[in-house]
């Protein structure tokens, strides 16, 4: 089973490349944001619990997020692996994910990080903001704050997965096809 974590700042192309990986390798893409929205919208017990924390302005505990991911993984027993997008964001979350996967005789095979210069990302996001109407992609200061948060939170994860020999950097500034080719080369070697 090829379980992959896909990293990248907003605008790096994670969604596009996740679709490619999903189709090419029969992987299931788990976007943590989508999982949260589904559980909250459908008022599942975990969604109700998560919303209680969010309504108080608190972070949803890792245990709740991991349980949502466990439920999502359990729904898809016939896939060749999973792409985790948006999780983990901290070392403690990475450790919790590893524990969950180990309990289910699985592991992370690789962490793939799409690297793109921040000025290019800002331009991409501002363009996306115009096209999509997404408010969070229309203000350069807010975009750069998201980058700073990403840098602060994910830096320890680079060390965590590098120590396991599972961290791979991909140049995300080329064409979609050239980036997909780089990803394919790595995933085929897993």
Domain boundaries, the chain: 3-185
Looking at mean pLDDT, say which of 51-60, 87-96, 114-123 comes out highest: 114-123
Kindly list the catalytic residues.
14, 89, 128, 134, 146
State the chain's maximal CA–CA distance in angstroms. Answer: 45
Note the pTM of the prediction, 2 decimals: 0.85
Give the rounded percent of residues in the chain with a pLDDT score beyond 90. Answer: 58
| Structure-block tokens of residue 9 | 């700042």
88 cis-preceded (ω within 30 degrees of 0):
yes
Among 29-38, 40-49, 146-155, the range scoring the smallest mean pLDDT is: 146-155
Q: What is the assigned CATH class of domain 3-185?
A: alpha beta
Under the banding of pLDDT at 50, 70 and 90, the label for residue 73 is very high
Residue showing tokens 């964001």: 89
Is the pLDDT assigned to residue 94 strictly greater than 90? yes
- When pLDDT is cut at 50, 70 and 90, the band that residue 151 belongs to is confident
Strand partners, 121: none
pLDDT score at 90: 85
Question: Percent of the chain beyond pLDDT 70?
Answer: 100
Average pLDDT over residues 4-23: 92
């Amino acid at each position: 089973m090829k379980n992959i974590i896909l990293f990248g700042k907003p605008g790096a192309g994670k969604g596009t490349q996740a679709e490619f990986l999903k189709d090419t390798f029969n992987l299931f893409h788990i976007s943590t944001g989508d999982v949260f929205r589904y559980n909250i919208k459908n008022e599942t017990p975990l969604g109700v619990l998560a919303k209680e924390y969010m309504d108080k302005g608190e972070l949803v505990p890792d245990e709740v997020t991991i349980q949502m991911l466990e439920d999502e993984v359990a729904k898809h027993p016939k896939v060749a692996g999973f792409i985790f997008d948006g999780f983990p964001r901290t070392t403690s979350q990475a450790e919790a994910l590893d524990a969950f996967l180990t309990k289910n005789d699985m592991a992370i095979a690789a962490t793939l990080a799409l690297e793109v210069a921040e000025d290019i990302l800002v331009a991409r996001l501002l363009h996306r903001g115009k096209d999509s109407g997404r408010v969070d992609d229309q203000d350069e200061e807010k975009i750069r704050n998201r980058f700073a948060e990403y840098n602060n939170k994910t830096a320890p994860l680079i060390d965590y997965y590098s120590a396991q020999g599972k961290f791979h950097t991909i140049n995300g500034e080329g064409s979609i096809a050239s980036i997909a080719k780089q990803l394919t080369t790595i995933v085929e070697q897993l």
